[in-house]
């Protein structure tokens, strides 16, 4: 498929790399010719210097015949305008990367629908969901999010003390929309029926609404220790998204900032989160705030070096569980073995999401559930499909 990408920064160049590896023909647009030269030295692609908000540039880049256009510059408004224009001139699908929550949350206006854009992708939001899943239960093996984060899928082991043990699935009374997709027992994976009975140690895939997932998860993971006290260093958008993603009833969250104006802004935005104008890595602040007793420390400032040093320093002070958000890919290999438990890259996470959206198949695979080929697929119903107009009960699937 012909794919045009606007923006040759960290996200754009990463997308060009992974999509070219998938066999797509890539054209990369950027106003900075030096950036384009750096990318083209390592990739076999076409480059074009210019602004993706100009119609003549889009036409020269081949957008009218492209199957996919991705706008991944550093500016939200630029991305929205470029993706809207690309769709208008004929791109099969248009995706825009956005940072600000006002665009992604659809507050007051559904920007994607209004501008004719197929999908808005927010790397910081996706990163916060991945971190939140790890904090909810470090024992969870895999986490996926769908439908703009409204649906969560997690794979985990059922606790021996869980209330669901010994009961057939049809008697669990799960909320509407929650499903157990697969059960792995003694190395064998199967899709369960209503008569399947859960046992301690079963590896299951649970799918359901994100906003109530934590509550339902407790029925399967009862007796397990969950992180409760969380410290976040930095006032980035990832920090804000993460504080919103964690249930305030289950987590005590503190965000430390060294920017007073930003601290006051977040205090107004996050009423259920404690905002502190202080440096958590300062020994006096660390001792005064009892940071050594927290369950997890997340470094999510906008500076990679600060995030690495902050995570390493608090680990040295005695924090048990540390997570860091890093933008630059070169740091991921360097910090292996240094003592940071998990590293999250918005660039890589957004790349995976866009790579999934770029699948040009009638039934694209959203996720793999096991090594035997069981998967989660997306199907678009045509107007004459036999399933159209029927309830799920009427379909009677296998």
- The rounded percent of the chain whose pLDDT value lies above 90 is 41
> Rounded distance, CA 56 to CA 50, Å?
9
Give the pLDDT band (50/70/90) at residue 324: very high
- Return the DSSP state at 272: T
Q: What is the pTM of this model?
A: 0.73
More confident residue, 324 or 10: 324
Question: Could you tell me which residues come within 8 angstroms of residue 106 by beta carbon, excluding any fewer than 6 positions away?
Answer: none
DSSP bridge pairs for 322: 297
Lowest average pLDDT, out of 36-40, 211-215, 335-339, goes to: 335-339
Asked if 316 contacts 281 with a C-beta cutoff of 8 angstroms, the reply is no
Give the pLDDT band (50/70/90) at residue 227: very low
- Altogether, the residues listed in the chain come to a count of 398
Q: In the chain, what are the helix, strand and coil shares in percent, each to the nearest 5?
A: 35, 25, 40
What's the chain's average pLDDT? 86
**pLDDT the model gives residue 184:** 86
Domains of the chain, start order: 2-121 (3.40.50.720), 139-220 (3.30.70.1450), 229-344 (3.40.50.720)
**pLDDT the model gives residue 253:** 94
Tell the burial category of 351 from Cβ atoms under 10 Å away from its Cβ (0-12, 13-18, 19+): buried
Highest mean pLDDT, choosing among 34-48, 97-111, 138-152, 183-197: 34-48
CB-based burial, 149-183: b 16+ in 10 Å, e otherwise:
beebbbbbbbbeebebbeeebeebeeeeeeebbbb
> Rounded distance, CA 186 to CA 201, Å?
9
Task: Compute the average pLDDT of residues 210-216.
Answer: 80
Lowest average pLDDT, out of 154-158, 229-233, 244-248, goes to: 244-248
């Amino acid at each position: 498929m012909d794919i045009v990408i606007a923006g040759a920064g960290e996200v754009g160049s990463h997308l060009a790399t992974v999509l070219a590896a998938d066999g797509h023909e890539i054209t990369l647009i950027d106003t900075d010719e030096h950036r384009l030269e750096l990318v083209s030295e390592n990739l076999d692609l076409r480059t074009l210097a210019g602004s993706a908000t100009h119609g003549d540039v889009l036409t020269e880049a081949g957008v009218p015949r492209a199957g996919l256009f991705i706008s991944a510059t550093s500016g939200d408004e630029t991305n929205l305008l470029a993706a809207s224009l690309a769709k208008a001139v004929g791109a099969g699908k248009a995706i825009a990367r956005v940072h600000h929550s006002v665009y992604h949350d659809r507050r007051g206006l559904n920007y994607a629908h209004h501008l004719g854009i197929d999908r808005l992708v927010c790397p910081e939001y996706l990163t916060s969901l991945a971190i939140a899943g790890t904090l909810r239960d470090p024992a969870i093996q895999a986490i996926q999010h769908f439908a703009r984060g409204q649906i969560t899928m997690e794979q985990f082991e059922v606790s021996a003390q869980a209330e669901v043990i010994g009961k057939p699935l049809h008697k669990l009374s799960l909320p509407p929309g929650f499903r157990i997709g697969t059960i792995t027992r003694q190395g064998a994976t199967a899709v369960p029926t209503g008569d399947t009975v859960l046992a301690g140690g079963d590896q299951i895939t649970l799918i359901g609404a994100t906003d109530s997932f934590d509550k339902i998860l407790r029925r399967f993971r009862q007796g397990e220790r969950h992180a409760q006290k969380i410290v976040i260093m930095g006032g980035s958008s990832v920090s804000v998204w993460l504080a919103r993603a964690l249930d305030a009833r289950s987590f005590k969250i503190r965000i430390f900032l060294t920017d007073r104006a930003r601290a006051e802004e977040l205090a107004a935005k996050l009423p259920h989160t404690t905002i502190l104008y202080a440096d958590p890595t300062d020994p006096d602040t660390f001792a005064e705030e009892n940071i050594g007793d927290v369950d997890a420390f997340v470094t999510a400032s906008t500076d990679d070096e600060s995030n690495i040093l902050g995570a390493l320093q608090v680990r040295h002070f005695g924090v048990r569980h540390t997570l860091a958000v890093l933008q630059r890919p070169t740091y991921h290999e360097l910090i292996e073995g240094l003592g940071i438990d998990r590293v999250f890259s918005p660039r890589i996470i957004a790349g995976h999401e866009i790579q999934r959206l770029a699948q040009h198949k009638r039934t694209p695979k959203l996720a793999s559930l096991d090594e035997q080929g069981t998967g989660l697929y997306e199907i678009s119903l045509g107007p004459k499909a036999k399933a159209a107009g029927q309830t799920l009960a009427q379909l009677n699937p296998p």
